[in-house]
């Protein structure tokens, strides 16, 4: 095909929006003298049907192979005119827009000036149009499956939604049971629903769902590929218990020599468990796991004459020979729902968390008030005969949140309300308790929050505005040193117990997923969404979505809402079965690439790799673009010293003529 | 038009912030000087520093590169790379005697139509002060 | 200090290895105060190796500059290692070439030669004009000793050493697989006085200074070809589509060439000074390169060629990079 440029230039009046300040006739006359321009037309509204028809007819009858539309911003109508070209059978990337409205007629009042500038803009567009190349939007198939990382409430909800829509879900959970942080909570604010009562049915649902493959006690090791086609590698850690045989009866745990010797993670290390354990009674799957770092047999090779669990298990499920397994599968989309860690209160040494046993964190207190907790729900300090019921309890808010000194400037969003909830539970459980809450601000922003805050205040809980400076011991009592900032009164408040309302932080192992998926972090170190407003569940990597506190602190309803959002975003891809790949992506001339890898380093999407190329028998490194990952920013092209990597539609050889035209005219 | 010297400025604008900001200036019917000629790129990170040298060679009296504010890049990091490249390029140009006002860089977001007007005004004023660029401008330009 | 006898022994052993293709070092030149690159293919060629104040060449440029001829069908490319003698500055070139993956670490054997400074041909020739004979040189205590036909002559090193050596902060190789040496003391310091004196002037003065220099450029591209960091298969400035600069040799194109070249070395120039040494028209190219070296050190706290693990300057950023120049 003879591809000598035959350009059509279409100058739009946009009613009077353009023609009021730009002399259309002059622009048309000027354009008709530009090289390679075959047809020039003007019309009142180029974007209207008749306007588009003009272009279509000319392409068909005059054999135009490039089109310049001089009208509004390409951000407005580029896609419209691309479709026009396609409808006429011309590759839609043979279009160049000349923005003579937003950046010309609307900003220059002098007609002569605006007309001169419009001519320049059109000429620069023609100069580039001559060199445009056809581009093709590729489509790739989407593997109809999703990987959900993390089986807290976010992961469970996302998995259920996708599975219910009929797609396969691989739900990977690092710990032995699904449930996440929510399973550790006693009641939920502001409605005081029992957390376990609303969560456990979902845990069971997700484990039993025919479309969900639950990989508990497993870790994602590697993910490669791109939207629609991710290859996932998961390590299924050895439980040393055959899950097919284990009935979950628990006799092994009763018999274990280390029974009640190992701090229970689920109970924030307040209760004790055995080396073979179920993290909590409602755990799903209800299968026992041997802690390889604690089990006497696994660490020392010897556990009495024979391991007691082996003797006790009538199903013969204990298997010390078990090894980690690697599961490999393909998915089309990934949802990251890895949750959060609570702030380590030891990082605020002035609060004495490391020194005084009766200074506890909110989550620890949550376990204390929980019926499934180490005290069976009784608020007591100490054990056995020494156990006392604390009467004077102080809560301190914003511990590790809104605090630049520990690097957390953000608000954790849940502490105000969980403090109110815990305070309420104290009033319920400890008759005559005297509860005060030290706060900076009360942020009761959610549905029902303000009402709940009012309610707990009416219950006699005192809110004292002040940020305690120190907690120390005086006799049997703890002293909270603080200034009541509303009355400017320094206080030394003697209490029996202090609860630190610790904030939420990114997980300590957050880096693992960042490295695997090339996610970014926002300033608060949580995973970064693609756009804070309009793409809050998306990430910079197509096909990877965020749900829950991995993206930032949020409460359960917000977490569930975001999980449903992430599920629906994943479903858009799964249901359509195909995904379009950007056309204006980067391309490498491997014959001149020197393999320095600057583009590889720079690409924010990990879309470029170095590969070995054969140059007449000599092996060399050269860059290669993964077309499905490239988003077409062009940063690689600007970094390339030899000009070997170029961005389609924004190539050096297309931009330099634009520079020349604008420079000369 | 007055007989005052009118500099010719080439501007590289990123599609998502600065170009959108310039569009917004238009939508808001702002009025600003017509000396600035825009080349749209997808990201300020796409602007090859050699484009600046080339523009000056090919007849521009001034060059502007404008992108998203740090942290707002549509492609996350492009403007950070641009900032580094052009920080160095600006120093280099000034070192060989190119007046400081000729090359400028700005951050203009999609909502900063008013800022765009100010940036154009400032860039044009600076270029006017520097006068016509002759230092290494080509006599004959083939285009 | 380098024990040259021992160095030759190491060279001999290295060249004898089956997995080494050849060794690149220096030998005495054929006239004047010159050394020449020496490609040692066989053990007996080792005898001619020298290491003296005349060894200015940065041989790292041969690692990437070597022409790769087509390999006949059925044969495999010679993948044996190349052994290379490096001074401190040369070693930085090797480190940066490794960072930029110009070749793999296992394809090169680096033989370290701590350096007390190499002579500037122009300075020494001005001092001893018309020296047709072949003159050898050696390092003395803060001096350079020339074996002139009239006898040994000792000259204070400041009088004859290259400018880059007077400000050198890395005389010892930063990377070496072998070497017969003790580290030499760092005696240079760098305040970028050469750059600062030009910065102090106004734009007109700077422009006049460089216009004069660039106007004399004959675009022989020796600066580019000798540079160990300029190793693109196809230089962007040679391209015809698009054509960044034209072939015409005139102040405009020359300036664009030099600006582009300098920019491509921003954060990459390891200050070996080879470009300036080879320039036939005496353009003070290091004065240009060092402007960016200074910027890079001051603003980005970066020096190329020190750390094989460091990301290249132009392929990295810090969120708090300087932006006082942004409107």
In a shared domain, residues A270 and A347: no
A494-535 pLDDT, tens digit each: 999 999 999 999 999 998 998 888 787 888 999 988 877 888
In a shared domain, residues A112 and A160:
no
Give the pLDDT confidence score for residue A1 in this predicted structure: 46
Q: What is the mean pLDDT of residues B119-141?
A: 92
Residue A635 predicted with pLDDT over 70: yes
Encode pLDDT of A602-615 as tens digits. 998 889 999 999 98
What pLDDT, on a 0 to 100 scale, did the predictor assign at position A554? 97
Residue B143 to residue A660, Cβ atoms within 8 A: yes
Q: Is residue A554 in a domain? A: yes
- What mean pLDDT do residues A446-469 have? 96
DSSP state for residue A101 in the 8-state scheme = I
Neighbouring-strand partners of residue A462? A436
**Distance separating alpha carbons of residues A492 and A480, to the nearest angstrom:** 6
Torsion angle (degrees, nearest 10) of CA A155, A156, A158, A159: 110
> Do A347 and A333 sit in the same domain of this protein?
no
Q: Which tens digit of pLDDT belongs to each residue from A579-591?
A: 988 899 999 999 9
Residue A133: name the closest of A658, A654, A657 by CA: A654
Q: Provide the pLDDT for residue B76.
A: 83
Choice between A640 and C67, residue whose per-residue pLDDT is larger: A640
Determine, yes or no, domain membership for A299: yes
Lookup: tokens for A323 = 């090894």
Inter-chain Cβ pairs, chain A and chain C, closer than 8 A: 70
Rounded CA-CA distance A175/A219 in Å is 9
Contact check, Cβ <8 Å, B45/A655: no
Residue identified by tokens 């209490």 is A495
Residue B142 has a pLDDT of 61
C300/B84 touch (CB, cutoff 8 Å), yes or no: yes
Neighbours of chain A (3+ CB pairs under 8 A): B, C
In this complex, do C101 and A621 lie within 8 Å of one another by their Cβ atoms?
yes
**Domains, chain B, with CATH or none:** 9-130 (3.40.50)
Tell me the count of A-B CB pairs closer than 8 A. Answer: 147
Please state the φ and ψ torsions of residue A592, each to the nearest 5 degrees: -115, -10
**Residue of chain A whose Cα is closest to the Cα of B39:** A658
ipTM, two decimals: 0.96
Instruction: Answer whether A601 touches B (CB < 8 Å).
Output: no
Q: Rounded to an integer, what distance in angstroms lies between the CA atom of residue C161 and that of residue C28? A: 18
Taking only residues 97 to 116 of chain A, the set having a beta carbon closer than 8 angstroms to any beta carbon of chain B reads: 99, 101-104, 106-110, 112-114, 116
CATH code at position A394 = 3.50.50.60
Q: Which of residues 118-137 of A touch B (CB under 8 A)?
A: 120-121, 124, 127
What's the rounded Cα separation, in Å, for the pair A28 and A123?
11
Give yes or no for B102 touching C (CB within 8 A).
Answer: no
Residues A392 and A466 in one domain: yes
Average pLDDT value for residue range A90-98: 96
Distance, CA of A103 to chain centre: 36
Please report the pLDDT score of residue C198 as a whole number.
Answer: 93
Cα–Cα distance measured from residue B38 to residue B55, given in angstroms and rounded to the nearest whole number: 12
Q: Distance between CA C140 and CA C157 in Å, rounded?
A: 9
DSSP A173-185: -SSSSS-GGGGG-
What's the N-to-C CA distance of chain B in angstroms? 27
Asked if residue A188 and residue A333 are part of one domain, the reply reads yes
Q: A345 CB contacts (<8 Å, ≥6 apart)? A: A351, A353, A359, A361, A399, A400, A500, A502
Q: Is C70 on the interface with A (CB under 8 A)?
A: yes
pLDDT digits (tens, 9 = 90+) for A41-75: 999 999 999 999 999 999 999 999 999 999 999 98
Are residues A333 and A202 both part of a single domain?
A: yes
Q: Which domain holds residue A347?
A: 341-505
- How distant is the Cα of C194 from the closest Cα of chain A, in angstroms? 28
3-state DSSP call for residue A94?
Answer: helix
Of A531, A551, A576, the last residue of a domain is A576
**CA angle, A235 then A240 then A241, to 5°:** 110
Q: Is pLDDT above 60 for B2? A: no
Residue the block writes with tokens 């002035």: A350
Q: Which residue of A has its CA nearest to B117?
A: A107
DSSP code, position C75: -
Residue A274 within any structural domain of the chain: yes
Distance from CA of B132 to the nearest CA of A (A): 12
Q: What is the CA radius of gyration of chain B?
A: 15
* Residue A511 near chain C (CB below 8 Å): no
A242 within some domain: no
Q: Is residue A246 part of a domain?
A: no
Q: What backbone phi and psi angles, to 5 degrees, belong to A274?
A: -100, 180
Q: Which domain CATH number covers A42?
A: 3.40.50
Q: Are residues A553 and A593 in the same domain?
A: no
Nearest-by-Cβ selection for A594 from C72, C73, C232? C232
Q: What CATH number does the domain containing A644 carry?
A: 3.30.70.20
Q: Is A224 in the same domain as A289?
A: no
Pick from A380, A447, A443, A374: nearest CA to A186: A374
Alpha helices in A492-555 (DSSP H): 510-517
Residues A470 and A346 in one domain: yes
Residue A517 has a pLDDT of: 87
pLDDT > 70 in chain A, percent: 100
Q: Look at C68 and A618 and tell me if their CB atoms are within 8 Å.
A: yes
Task: Quickly state the pLDDT bin for B143 (edges 50, 70, 90).
Answer: low
Q: Give me the residues of A, 623-652, that contact B with CB < 8 A.
A: 631-635, 637-639, 647, 650, 652
CA angle at C98 for the pair C92 and C104, rounded to the nearest 5°: 140
Residues A537 and A416 placed together within one structural domain of the fold: no
Q: List, as one string, the DSSP characters of chain B.
A: --SS----EEEEEETTTHHHHHHHHHHTT----S-EEEEEES-GGG--HHHHHHHHHTT-SEEEEEEPPTT--TTSSHHHHHHHHHHHHHHHHHHTT--GGGEEEEE--TT-HHHHHHHHHHHHHHHHHH-S--TT--SS---
Supply A364's token pair: 């620890």
Residue B94: list chain C partners with CB under 8 A. 203, 206
Task: Say whether B46 and A635 touch across the interface (CB within 8 A).
Answer: yes
Q: Model confidence over A648-660: pLDDT tens digits? A: 999 999 999 999 9
Closest among C230, C298, A603 to B81, alpha carbons compared: A603
Q: Which residues numbered 100-139 in C keep a CB inside 8 Å of some CB on B? A: none
Last residue of a domain, one of A129, A163, A181: A129
pLDDT at B1 over 50: no
Q: Is there a single domain that holds both residue A359 and residue A498? A: yes
CB contact under 8 A, C211 and B135: yes
Helix (H, G, I), strand (E, B) or coil at C138: strand
- Which chain B residues contact residue C255 at CB under 8 A? 96, 135-136
Which residues in chain B are contacts of C288 at CB distance < 8 A?
A: 95-96
**pLDDT of the residue at B141:** 66
The answer to whether residues A71 and A100 touch, using CB atoms and an 8 Å cutoff, is: yes
Largest CA distance in chain A: 101
* Nearest CA-CA distance, residue B129 and chain A, Å: 18
Look at residue B3 and tell me whether its pLDDT is greater than 80. Answer: no
Averaged confidence pLDDT in chain A: 94
The string of pLDDT tens digits covering residues C91-113 is 999 999 999 987 889 999 999 99
Name every residue whose Cβ is closer than 8 Å to that of residue C172 and which is 6 or more positions away in sequence: C88, C112, C114, C115, C183, C184, C186
User: b vs e for A395-416, b when ≥16 Cβ sit within 10 Å of the residue's Cβ?
Assistant: bbbbbbbbbeebebebbbbbbb
A606 touches chain B (CB under 8 A): no
Q: What's the whole-number mean pLDDT along residues B20-27?
A: 93
Q: What is the mean pLDDT of residues A284-302?
A: 94
d(CA A415, CA A442): 9
Task: Decide which of A442, A477, A505 is a domain's last residue.
Answer: A505
Number of domains in chain A: 5
In this structure, the dihedral spanned by the alpha carbons of residues C294, C297, C298 and C300, taken in order and rounded to 10 degrees, is 130
Is the pLDDT confidence value at C130 over 90? no
Output b/e per residue, A622-640; b: 16+ Cβ within 10 A: bbbbbbbbbbbbbbbbbbb
> Do A602 and B10 make contact, defined as CB atoms within 8 angstroms?
no
The residue to which tokens 């907790």 are assigned:
A373
Q: For residues A240 and C316, give the distance between their C-alpha atoms in angstroms, rounded to a whole number.
A: 46
Q: A540 with A613, same domain?
A: no
Give the separation between CA C117 and CA A623, rounded to whole angstroms: 39
């Amino acid at each position: 095909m003879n591809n000598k440029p035959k350009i059509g230039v279409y100058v739009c009046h946009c009613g009077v929006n353009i023609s009021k300040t730009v002399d259309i006739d002059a622009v048309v006359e000027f354009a008709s003298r530009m090289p390679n321009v075959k047809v020039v037309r003007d019309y009142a509204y180029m974007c209207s049907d008749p306007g588009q028809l003009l272009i279509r007819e000319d392409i068909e009858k005059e054999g135009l192979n490039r089109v310049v539309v001089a009208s509004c911003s390409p951000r407005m109508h580029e896609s419209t005119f691309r479709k026009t070209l396609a409808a006429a059978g011309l590759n839609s990337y043979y279009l160049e827009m000349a923005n003579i409205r937003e950046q010309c007629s609307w900003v220059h009042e002098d007609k002569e000036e605006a007309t001169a500038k419009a001519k320049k803009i059109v000429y620069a567009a023609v100069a580039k149009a001559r060199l445009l190349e056809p581009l093709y939007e590729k489509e790739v198939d989407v593997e109809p499956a999703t990987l959900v990382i993390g089986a807290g409430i976010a992961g469970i909800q996302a998995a259920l939604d996708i599975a219910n829509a009929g797609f396969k879900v691989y739900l990977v959970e690092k710990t032995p049971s699904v449930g996440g942080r929510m399973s550790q909570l006693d009641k939920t604010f502001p409605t005081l629903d029992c957390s376990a009562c609303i969560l456990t049915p979902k845990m069971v649902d997700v484990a039993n769902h025919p479309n969900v493959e639950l990989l508990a006690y497993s870790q994602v090791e590697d993910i490669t590929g791109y939207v629609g086609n991710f290859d996932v590698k998961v390590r299924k850690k050895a439980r040393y218990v055959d899950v097919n045989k284990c009935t979950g009866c628990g006799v092994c745990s009763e018999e274990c020599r280390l029974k009640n010797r190992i701090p229970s993670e689920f109970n924030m290390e307040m209760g004790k468990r055995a080396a073979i354990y179920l993290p909590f009674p409602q755990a799903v799957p209800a299968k026992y796991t041997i802690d390889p770092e604690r089990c006497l047999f696994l660490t020392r090779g010897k556990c009495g004459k024979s391991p007691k669990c082996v003797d006790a298990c009538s199903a013969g499920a204990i298997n010390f020979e078990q090894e980690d397994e690697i599961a490999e599968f393909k998915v089309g989309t990934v949802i990251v729902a890895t949750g959060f860690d609570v702030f380590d209160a030891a990082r605020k040494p002035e609060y004495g968390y490391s020194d005084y046993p009766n200074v506890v964190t909110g989550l620890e207190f949550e376990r204390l008030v929980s019926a499934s907790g180490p005290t069976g729900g009784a608020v007591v300090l100490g054990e056995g005969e020494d156990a006392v019921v604390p009467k004077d309890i102080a809560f301190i808010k914003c511990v590790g949140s809104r605090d630049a000194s520990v690097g957390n400037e953000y608000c954790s969003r849940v502490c105000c309300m969980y403090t109110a909830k815990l305070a309420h539970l104290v009033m319920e459980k400890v008759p005559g308790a005297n509860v005060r809450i030290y706060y900076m601000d009360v942020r009761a922003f959610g549905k029902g929050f303000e009402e709940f805050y009012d309610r707990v205040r009416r219950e006699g809980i005192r809110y004292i505005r002040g940020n305690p400076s120190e907690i120390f011991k005086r006799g049997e009592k703890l002293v909270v040193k603080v200034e009541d900032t509303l009355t400017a009164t320094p206080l030394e408040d003697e209490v029996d117990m202090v609860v630190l309302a610790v904030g939420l932080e990114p997980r300590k192992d957050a880096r693992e997923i960042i490295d695997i998926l090339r996610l970014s972090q926002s300033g608060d170190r949580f995973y970064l969404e693609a756009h804070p407003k309009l793409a809050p569940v998306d990430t910079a990597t197509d096909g990877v979505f965020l749900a829950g506190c991995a993206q930032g602190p949020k409460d359960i309803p917000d977490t569930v809402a975001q999980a449903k959002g992430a599920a629906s975003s994943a479903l858009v891809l799964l249901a359509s079965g195909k995904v379009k790949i950007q056309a204006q992506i980067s391309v490498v001339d491997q014959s001149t690439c020197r393999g320095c890898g600057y583009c590889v380093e720079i690409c924010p999407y990990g879309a470029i790799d170095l590969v070995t190329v054969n140059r007449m028998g000599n092996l060399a490194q050269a860059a290669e673009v993964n077309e499905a990952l490239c988003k077409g920013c062009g940063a690689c092209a600007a970094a390339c010293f030899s000009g070997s990597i170029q961005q389609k539609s924004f190539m050096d050889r297309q931009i330099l003529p634009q520079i020349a035209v604008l420079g000369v005219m | 038009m007055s007989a005052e010297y009118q500099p010719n400025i080439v501007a590289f604008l990123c599609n998502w912030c600065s170009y959108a900001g310039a569009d917004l200036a238009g939508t808001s019917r702002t009025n600003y000087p017509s000396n600035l000629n825009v080349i749209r790129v997808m990201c300020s990170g796409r602007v090859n520093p050699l484009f600046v040298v080339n523009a000056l060679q090919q007849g521009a009296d001034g060059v502007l590169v404008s992108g998203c504010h740090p942290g707002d890049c549509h492609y996350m990091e492009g403007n950070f790379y641009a900032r580094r490249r052009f920080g160095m390029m600006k120093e280099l140009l000034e070192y060989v005697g190119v007046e400081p006002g000729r090359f400028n860089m700005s951050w203009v977001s999609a909502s900063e139509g008013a800022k765009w007007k100010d940036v154009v005004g400032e860039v044009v004023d600076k270029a006017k002060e520097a006068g016509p660029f002759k230092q290494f401008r080509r006599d004959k330009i083939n285009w | 200090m380098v024990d040259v006898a021992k160095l030759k022994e190491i060279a001999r052993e290295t060249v004898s290895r089956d997995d080494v293709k050849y060794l690149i070092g220096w030998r005495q030149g054929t006239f004047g105060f010159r050394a020449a690159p020496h490609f040692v293919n066989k053990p007996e060629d080792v005898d001619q190796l020298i290491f003296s104040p005349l060894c200015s060449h940065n041989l790292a440029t041969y690692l990437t500059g070597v022409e790769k001829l087509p390999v006949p069908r059925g044969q495999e490319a010679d993948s044996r290692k190349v052994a290379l003698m490096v001074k401190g500055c040369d070693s930085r070139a090797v480190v940066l070439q490794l960072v930029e993956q110009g070749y793999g670490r296992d394809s090169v054997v680096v033989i370290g030669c701590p350096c007390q400074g190499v002579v500037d041909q122009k300075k020494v020739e001005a001092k001893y004009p018309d020296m047709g004979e072949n003159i050898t040189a050696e390092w003395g205590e803060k001096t350079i000793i020339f074996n002139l036909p009239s006898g040994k002559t000792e000259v204070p090193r400041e009088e004859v050493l290259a400018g880059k050596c007077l400000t050198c902060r890395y005389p010892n190789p930063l990377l070496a697989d072998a070497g017969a040496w003790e580290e030499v003391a760092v005696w240079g310091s760098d305040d970028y006085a050469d750059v600062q004196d030009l910065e102090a002037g106004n734009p007109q003065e700077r422009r006049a200074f460089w216009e004069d220099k660039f106007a004399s450029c004959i675009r022989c591209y020796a600066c580019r070809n000798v540079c160990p960091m300029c190793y693109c298969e196809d230089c962007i400035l040679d391209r015809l589509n698009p054509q960044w600069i034209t072939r015409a040799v005139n102040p405009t194109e020359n300036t664009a060439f030099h600006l582009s070249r300098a920019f491509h070395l921003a954060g990459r120039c390891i200050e070996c000074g080879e470009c300036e040494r080879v320039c036939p028209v005496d353009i003070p190219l290091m004065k240009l390169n060092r402007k960016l070296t200074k910027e890079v050190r001051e603003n980005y706290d970066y020096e190329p060629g020190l750390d094989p693990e460091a990301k290249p300057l132009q392929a990295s950023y810090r969120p708090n990079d300087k932006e006082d120049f942004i409107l």
